[in-house]
Structure 1
Amino acid sequence: MPPHTSPVFYAHSNGLDPAHWQPLETHLKNVAEKAADFAQPFGGEEWGRLIGINHDLGKGTLAWQAWLRQVNGISDEFSGHYAGHPAHADAGAQWLFSQSKQAGQLLAYCVAGHHGGLPNWNEGSVRAGLKVRLNQSMPNMKLAKVSSIPAELPFVLDPERLGFQLQFFARMLFSCLVDADYLDTEMFIDGEKARWRSGYPKLDELSKCFWMRFNALREKVDIASPVNRQRERVLRDCLSAAGNEPGLFSLTVPTGGGKTLASLAFALKHAKKYEKRRIIYVIPFTSIIEQNAAVFRDMLSKDAVLEHHCNFIPDDSDWKTRLASENWDAPVVITTNVQFFNSFYANKPSKCRKLHNVSDSVVIFDEVQAVPVEKLKPCLEIIKELSSGYGVSSVLCTATQPAVEYSDQFQSGLQNVREIVGDVAELFSSLKRTEESFVGVLEVGELAGRLSNENQVLCIVNTRKQALDVFKALPESEGSIHLSALMHPDHRTKTLAEVRQRLDDGLPCRVVSTQLIEAGVDVDFPCVYRAVSGIDSIAQAAGRCNRNGKYQTPRPVCVFEFPEDASCAFFRQAAQSAAKLFDRYSGRLTVPECVREYFSDYFWKNEQRMDDGETLQRCLRAQTLEISFRDIAEFQMIKTATIPIIVALEDEALELVHALDFAEHSGGILRRLQKYTVQVYSYQFDEICDWLEEPVPGVFVLKSEELYSHETGLQCNPPQGQAFFG
């Protein structure tokens, strides 16, 4: 090499000779511009550019370049500097921190964590925290450093929430950096794969498609019917409110009032007017997300809707969906509370990568009352921050609006929430199709007798055991039907199809179900029994009674209590708050004022446990910039993990399980097997583990009909003295 020629520093190799590798300076500039572009919607453009241009400075050392050549079998002038695989993420963080002990420290979290995850400032003896890492000796970097630290933060500081704002901003910048880093590396390594990410339809195109299909549906129904008149009214209110300034909205509509498609109509019009980038629909239950995703695909476009939740595994051939699930760059995303809120408290790159794409969007939180009370404050804080500093218009969409707005009694609540429906009380009055009243304590046998006297009736209880006990107490009959999460989804789907058919044909239909039927399932019974629970659950149960206004006079929703009910503390507390209102609001337990009183009492009881795990407190302490990102990431919407069991009794399920043995990649097969999967708790798994096969590590399969009933689903108490494997 001539003496005047400087050696080339590289960021990535690709299996070819170095002439085809990616120069480090090219990678840094590409990532800087992408990160700046991603941060632009929330005013963080210069901050994003700064961490992008500095994130891989540690690769600009002789030792790192020697390692890159060593792993590619190349010997050159760098070989003498080889000393194993040196870490590179801390170098850029150290440089930024040396330039600013405040802004630089905030940015250092992002750079230091862009591979391993956002770190804690202080750690124990096992792992070094960022404080220790920043104070180690800085490597001799051969590239020019860039450190023009922005002078101001791009959001209005709230002294009481400053810590939360700072850690949230750092997390959003981190998202911009890791997504930009992944995308530029992917473009260099696999350009064909990168090109799969483009080509989504614009929201404006989707809006035209939606209205063409929605209007076709509206033409097929009797607009003059009382229920459909009110649904049209909800739609008009949504379209009118869509022109309002971005921010926080609530959409309070009784069950059966058409809020799902009306909220989508709001989102499309609002997004068009204010140039929002995407629509995100956040749903509380995985049991209904596929149903809603199917509706949205029918109304919009199959290729425009990304379904993303813990049970979602795209087919191996569906590269576009697999890639979109990494960073949510699709125009419409349907996800769960668990996926959404867990991600905003996560610290790993793979979990945080999508966060920046939530900014400047319309986010609809369906059934917002379903957020667990012990997680309420951390979740409200996310909604608050997205709407105040990141251009998000949030819609709290529910049939039973919880008391989550700010008040003297609930100072953690949301402020400036605008109701979309013009007159909520009048709408509820117009759509009142049921009378809800408490009928007292009922033994299982007495309850079964009451149900047997009805030709068509739905009974909803709080636990799987209660559902089994009541169902077994019913006389054997074609019309007696059981529903619970112990039945795999395909089984439940077929059972619900039978239920709807029997209801339509006027045949006997007595259904005993857990609360899963309350989660948006479209069934219409003339009578409903509901085990005592919260007023919100009673309202959801009422939504399965006279749903379409078939009966002109209100139909009964009978709330009852089991003697010595051993339900969990959640149901007991909710039931106690509801019971206070049974006498005063008898016959009208679902009116807005009753719901409001219920939530005020229930929240008051639980005020001290709304930040379970002190996640929010950990965030608020971040105002010192000594942020505990790893500790904050302990936040989980649902603590109790379940184990999936594949029930392979159907021919299709057996064939798919057999194919697992020969599949190089099992993702597509597992996706197709989801409809045959039952989720069980660990203690239930322990009871039946001897009956299970494990064709692929971590995949458990039941092939024994002894433990699966075509009436009630999985039996978690196997016969004594027996085991599938003898």
Structure 2
Amino acid sequence: MYIARFNERTLKVQSVREHTLSVANLCKIFGRKLNISSFLYLAGLLHDMGKYSVRFQDYIELELKKVQDGDKETDKVADKEDHGVFGGKFIYETFNKRDPISCITSEILALICCYHHGGLPDCVNRRSEVTLLERFKKISSSNMQEVYKKFNDDLKVDINKIFDEACYEVQLIVEKIKEFKDEAFFAMHLFIKTAYSMLIDADRYDSYLFESEYIGNNEINNIEIEAAKIWYKYLIRLEKKLEEFKMKSNISENEKRINKIRQDISDECLSFAKNNEGIYTLTVPTGGGKTLSSLRFALRHAELKNKDRIIYVLPYTTIIEQNAEEVRKALNCKGDLLEHHSNILEDDKGENYKLLTHRWENKIIYTTMVQFLNTFYNKGTQDMRRMHNLLNSIIIFDEIQTIPIKCMDLFNGCINYLNRIGNSTIVLCSATQPELNKANVSIQFSEQREIIKDVNIKFKILERVEVIDSTRKEGYTYEEASSFIYDIKKTANSVLMVCNTVNSAATIYDLLSKVIDKDVDLYFLSSNLCPTHRKDVLSNIKKGLKNNKHLICISTQLIEAGVDISFDVAVRALAGLDSIAQTSGRMNRNGEREKGYGYIINLNDDDELKRLTEIRLGKTHCKELLDDYAEDSNLFENSLLSPESIKKYFKYYYTDPILNNNMNYPVRNTSIYEMLNYNELNKDGYEDDYPLQFIYKFKTAGELFKVIDNDTKTVLVPYGKGKGLISELLSSDSYDKKKILIDKLGHYSVNIYNNKYEALKKEDGIIFNRECGVHILKDFYYDEVKGVSLIKNLEFLNF
């Protein structure tokens, strides 16, 4: 028997044959989504061919003996055979010269097999060498022949027959991709990544099943059969919940009017679900019931079109927590719903962490735009592993206006691919729809683009807030802003202040804490608080609002997108008009009063916004609009929140030359979009006739890609139950238990910028646990009000 791996705890051995056939069969199942089952089956067969080599078998037997002898210092990565290259070299050299489709098919298979550990490479390296061909040179012809003979004797598969079937499948994909015209090469790179995703997920998943000693049938096989039944079950539960809402009594006429519009929007979403797969917009005013209306559409559409999963992509983790909880209660879906806030695990080179990463196999997933874009464009394998689970899905992007400008071409390109190749339905939701087709790559919207009818009329009926321009030439210092809030509080029970940065919010919070009356509760919200901490703060605020308590909340923009909360008055530091509209949606949300009032003040925060280009320019162009409005408000239907105002603002914003030239993610003398498209510069000086079909710079593009300019690390924090969960994680030796704990710890994690991470590390405030691949914040550096802090909390020493 040839050994593929062994379990260090039980010493159980998995053979190369068993692992190979299991991975190949998983690949075959995954491949159904694009009708490329034979192509993926072949990838699964070939990926570990090198494990038949003498060198690999000597290595794995030595490692097994070490463990049997009680030596815990095994090294499952050092000094072993490059096992991926064998299958890649074999398929490429056997079939590469037959015809163009054989050439494309063999090259993709070679790429994904050779690099199924570590991530896809640049096709040409910095030494102007063809990376794949250079890797082939590692093994001699005699070694290749010897390994192939063992592979063939052990597996007895007809490679020629499977390859012919694979070529037919790839031919059909290529024909579809040609329809992308100028974006065809970019779409092809996404197809390569999709195939790669299927292979590495199958490989890691089989490894996980072996390491966790899973016994039973593989549930993946039944996913398509069960999907329609699941969607029907959840739709019935949602309809029942919506009927309960209708039965509510003791509400004002104003609230009844708003609820009627929400019902109309919900009914239109349900009706629209019969349409075919496409790319659509859902334009709903703030407070228009978008969460459950879009879910109603998604469940019905998933049932009718037999979709695998529903994925919600949101800008902030705050909304994930709230919306996921609302959906969980409405559907009673428990384990079928996954909240994926961030990557808790470090994308390291160790083997164990790979078994614990998220696959996005759940039926309903809530995640962030950062995680979505990382799935397609980030370096390594942790994120890309889940890419294939976005196929044949319904993907709903909430608050789409928050997409980073530099990512627009990359975003538009991938949703076009997901719809036209991946058979997914895309819904772009917002009360302030951005002009995404101002990018170089246009979204291929469906002919009937908007889900809702008479959008402008619905906006007018749902108008519950008047926004007042309180900006002034000299701006507001932090002290003056605090005084403004203090004075506004005298006119209302509750006030929300939204700032552009954490520092601004913290400064104003500190100033107000010194002067407010004792009967006024003061709250702070920012991304420095872990999800559970934020949830607790929001829960306390909502209780206070319900009981008409006097309170002030100072927050960053995380509160303004989709958080179901309603203050008497809101104040917004000048920013983009879309942000101001979102803040306005956090007051008089249900028409509790005839009209709510929001105020815009121009905080002197320019120094803090130097590196936050989009907020800074949003602030500039919003001021332009405010000036236009002051000159003639009739042009904007006498409302700063009207569709006309939003449209004019985005016209100013997207024609800004700084933003307009940054939509393809510029880097060095090119862009990430061009690195993943056809571009002669990608050849890095290679002068001979280029021998391959593809010249992508996968590795460099992945290393340079960051949704947020500053790198962040996810840190587990000792807030509330988090401390106990961290202890459990570190002491557990069960992969199943670790996966459960890691899911739970997503609610006790904070993403912090690298400079802050390094500062905390210098203070010995963070530890990194290599075995689990997690960063952990020490107790003293988590503040009960402001969350992660560089200032050590020693209050317990004050006797």
TM-score range with shorter-chain normalisation?
0.7 to 0.9
- Are the structure 2 counterparts of residues 565 and 10 from structure 1 closer, same or farther at C-alpha, using a change threshold of 3 Å? closer
Q: In the aligned structure 2, how far is the partner of 1:161 from the partner of 1:375? A: 16
Give CA deviations for 1:440-494 in whole Å, capped at 9, x if unaligned: 2253325245324322322222122322343344432232523232445454434
Report if the CA contact (8 A) 2:241-2:330 is conserved: yes
Matched, 1:385 2:385: no
Give CA deviations for 1:668-692 in whole Å, capped at 9, x if unaligned: 7776666565554444456666766
Partner of 2:644: 593
Partner of 1:574: 618
- Are the structure 2 counterparts of residues 560 and 63 from structure 1 closer, same or farther at C-alpha, using a change threshold of 3 Å? closer
Matched, 1:150 2:181: no
- Give secondary structure in 2 for the equivalent of 1:559: strand
Matches within 5 A, 1:203-602: 203-220=231-248, 225-300=256-331, 301-310=333-342, 326-346=358-378, 348-405=380-437, 410-417=439-446, 418-441=449-472, 442-443=475-476, 444-445=479-480, 446-455=483-492, 456-474=494-512, 475-477=515-517, 478-485=519-526, 486-552=528-594, 554-563=595-604, 565-568=606-609, 569-585=613-629, 586=633, 587-602=638-653
Determine which of 658, 678, 690 is the counterpart of 1:621: 678
Give CA deviations for 1:136-175 in whole Å, capped at 9, x if unaligned: 5441120444442514141241231122122111111112
Partner of 2:699: 630
- Are the structure 2 counterparts of residues 482 and 85 from structure 1 closer, same or farther at C-alpha, using a change threshold of 3 Å? closer
- Are the structure 2 counterparts of residues 522 and 588 from structure 1 closer, same or farther at C-alpha, using a change threshold of 3 Å? same
Q: In the aligned structure 2, how far is the partner of 1:32 from the partner of 1:476? A: 66
Report if the CA contact (8 A) 1:187-1:194 is conserved: no
User: What is the total number of aligned residue pairs between the two structures?
Assistant: 692
Give CA deviations for 1:379-428 in whole Å, capped at 9, x if unaligned: 121111101111010011112111113xxx54422122411011111111
Give CA deviations for 1:109-159 in whole Å, capped at 9, x if unaligned: 111112232222222469982131235544112044444251414124123
2:662 is aligned with what amino acid?
R
1:558 is aligned with what amino acid?
Y
Determine which of 101, 105, 108 is the counterpart of 1:106: 108
Q: In the aligned structure 2, how far is the partner of 1:670 from the partner of 1:33? A: 28
Matched, 1:180 2:202: yes
Q: In the aligned structure 1, how far is the partner of 2:444 from the partner of 2:616? A: 30
**Cα offset for 1:206?**
2.4
2:498 is aligned with what amino acid?
I
Report if the CA contact (8 A) 2:760-2:766 is conserved: no
1:92 is aligned with what amino acid?
G
**Cα offset for 1:274?**
1.0
Determine which of 135, 139, 144 is the counterpart of 1:133: 135
1:530 is aligned with what amino acid?
R
- Are the structure 2 counterparts of residues 193 and 373 from structure 1 closer, same or farther at C-alpha, using a change threshold of 3 Å? farther
Deviates more, 1:624-633 or 1:468-477: 468-477
Q: In the aligned structure 2, how far is the partner of 1:112 from the partner of 1:52? A: 12
1:421 is aligned with what amino acid?
I
**Cα offset for 1:324?**
9.3
1:628 is aligned with what amino acid?
K
Report if the CA contact (8 A) 1:437-1:588 is conserved: no
Deviates more, 1:291-300 or 1:585-594: 585-594
Determine which of 709, 716, 723 is the counterpart of 1:639: 709
- Are the structure 2 counterparts of residues 220 and 159 from structure 1 closer, same or farther at C-alpha, using a change threshold of 3 Å? same
- Give secondary structure in 2 for the equivalent of 1:633: helix
Q: In the aligned structure 2, how far is the partner of 1:644 from the partner of 1:12? A: 31
Q: In the aligned structure 1, how far is the partner of 2:742 from the partner of 2:5? A: 33
- Are the structure 2 counterparts of residues 185 and 270 from structure 1 closer, same or farther at C-alpha, using a change threshold of 3 Å? same
- Give secondary structure in 2 for the equivalent of 1:160: helix
TM-score, normalised relative to structure 1? 0.85
Q: In the aligned structure 1, how far is the partner of 2:778 from the partner of 2:552? A: 31
Report if the CA contact (8 A) 1:284-1:370 is conserved: yes
- Are the structure 2 counterparts of residues 510 and 687 from structure 1 closer, same or farther at C-alpha, using a change threshold of 3 Å? same
- Give secondary structure in 1 for the equivalent of 2:433: coil
Determine which of 11, 26, 32 is the counterpart of 1:34: 26
- Give secondary structure in 1 for the equivalent of 2:313: strand
**Cα offset for 1:66?**
5.2
- Give secondary structure in 1 for the equivalent of 2:427: strand
Partner of 2:685: none
Q: In the aligned structure 1, how far is the partner of 2:727 from the partner of 2:22? A: 46
Matched, 1:165 2:187: yes
Give CA deviations for 1:226-268 in whole Å, capped at 9, x if unaligned: 1111110110110111111111011111111111111111011
- Are the structure 2 counterparts of residues 505 and 13 from structure 1 closer, same or farther at C-alpha, using a change threshold of 3 Å? closer
- Give secondary structure in 1 for the equivalent of 2:281: strand
Partner of 1:90: 85
1:525 is aligned with what amino acid?
F
1:213 is aligned with what amino acid?
K
- Are the structure 2 counterparts of residues 19 and 563 from structure 1 closer, same or farther at C-alpha, using a change threshold of 3 Å? closer
- Give secondary structure in 1 for the equivalent of 2:505: helix
Deviates more, 1:486-495 or 1:433-442: 486-495
Deviates more, 1:489-498 or 1:302-311: 489-498
Report if the CA contact (8 A) 1:534-1:577 is conserved: yes
- Give secondary structure in 2 for the equivalent of 1:521: coil
Q: In the aligned structure 2, how far is the partner of 1:675 from the partner of 1:167? A: 34
Q: Which runs of 5+ in 1 are unaligned?
A: 1-7, 75-82, 314-321
**Cα offset for 1:723?**
14
Matched, 1:57 2:127: no
- Give secondary structure in 1 for the equivalent of 2:125: coil
Identity percentage of aligned residues: 27
Q: In the aligned structure 1, how far is the partner of 2:199 from the partner of 2:752? A: 38
Report if the CA contact (8 A) 2:465-2:584 is conserved: yes
- Are the structure 2 counterparts of residues 184 and 687 from structure 1 closer, same or farther at C-alpha, using a change threshold of 3 Å? closer
Q: In the aligned structure 2, how far is the partner of 1:510 from the partner of 1:622? A: 54
Q: In the aligned structure 2, how far is the partner of 1:715 from the partner of 1:527? A: 30
Q: In the aligned structure 2, how far is the partner of 1:251 from the partner of 1:16? A: 52
Q: In the aligned structure 1, how far is the partner of 2:319 from the partner of 2:511? A: 29
- Are the structure 2 counterparts of residues 661 and 179 from structure 1 closer, same or farther at C-alpha, using a change threshold of 3 Å? closer
- Are the structure 2 counterparts of residues 655 and 263 from structure 1 closer, same or farther at C-alpha, using a change threshold of 3 Å? closer
Determine which of 747, 766, 776 is the counterpart of 1:699: 776
- Give secondary structure in 2 for the equivalent of 1:328: coil
Give CA deviations for 1:181-225 in whole Å, capped at 9, x if unaligned: 334455556552675856886323222333333333443366970
Q: Which runs of 5+ in 2 are unaligned?
A: 67-77, 97-102, 153-158, 346-353, 681-692, 770-774
